Structure 1
Amino acid sequence: MISTQHSYANAAQEDRCAPRTKIAIPSQLRVSGSRAFKTVVHDLSLAGFSASSIGRLQADQICWLTLPGLQSIQGRIVWWDRSIAGAAFDDLLSQAVLEDILSRWEGPIGGGVTRSCLL
């Protein structure tokens, strides 16, 4: 039987303020007090991202995501589960920046983009 708290946590993960796009972008992630490490961004939206992280990350840790060719983007870790971390950007990305990132990683060279709206 699933606990009420666990059910709420799962439901909260699906309550997004912006549509997410599934993607695979090799990037770097740095958490406050640690060195940057290589990661892969698995989904991206105006409001945040999820990425691989073998080491456990704690909610509310400040982080910086560096996508290829861009300056670091500051955010906060929201969750970590089985080597995947989710984070919210401190400031929303502009639609133009998001579209530029996605267009650079579309197609067979970039690994492909699957757009979805999970609200």
Structure 2
Amino acid sequence: MHMDWDPYANEAYFHATQEDRCAARNKVNIPASLRASGSKSFHTVVHDLSLGGFSATALNRMHVGTTCWLTLPGLESQQAEVVWWLRGQVGCAFAHLLSPIVYDNIILRYRGDGVYRPVV
């Protein structure tokens, strides 16, 4: 039986992982779509984003290790793998790091409030 990892089960480990990220995370509020392998896509909201991954709303359980695709507005789908799921939130690691230019553009456009700002 495959068990989902609970990031809050071992508080010391959880805090250590938050400090040892491959890239800084930024709080965002981006409407997007997420599709698990073999499933239909669903609307979600990305709550934080880094070059290496994201967390988003996922009311239905997503199992650790599941391949999924995140589609952000104006971008191609990005392949990722579920790292954790807890109480309607999912954390995923991208299969390939986002380009820093693409990442900076996203952060400039979505500053945590879900409002799209065109970059001029």
Query: What is the number of equivalent residue pairs in this alignment?
Result: 108
Q: Identify the match of residue 6 of structure 1 among 4, 7, 10.
A: 10
**Contact 1:23-1:111 at 8 Å conserved across structures:** no
* Aligned residues: CA RMSD: 2.1
**Contact 1:24-1:111 at 8 Å conserved across structures:** no
One-letter amino acid of the structure 2 residue matched with residue 64 of structure 1? W
TM-score (ref. length: structure 2): 0.81
Q: Identify the match of residue 21 of structure 1 among 19, 26, 30.
A: 26
Structure 2, unmatched stretches of 5+, are: 1-8
Cα 1:79–1:100 change in 2 (3 A) is same
Which one scores higher on RCO, CA 8 angstroms, separation ≥ 6?
1
Structure-1 separation of matches of 2:51 and 2:17: 16
Overall identity of the aligned pairs, in %:
48
1:1-119 alignment to 2 at 5 Å? 6-7=10-11, 9-11=13-15, 13-14=17-18, 15-106=20-111, 110=115
Structure-2 separation of matches of 1:84 and 1:19: 19
One-letter amino acid of the structure 1 residue matched with residue 45 of structure 2? V
Q: Partner of 1:110: helix, strand, or coil?
A: coil
Structure-1 separation of matches of 2:10 and 2:112: 37
One-letter amino acid of the structure 1 residue matched with residue 49 of structure 2? L
One-letter amino acid of the structure 1 residue matched with residue 74 of structure 2? G
Structure 1, unmatched stretches of 5+, are: 113-119
Cα 1:107–1:78 change in 2 (3 A) is closer
Structure-1 separation of matches of 2:82 and 2:112: 29
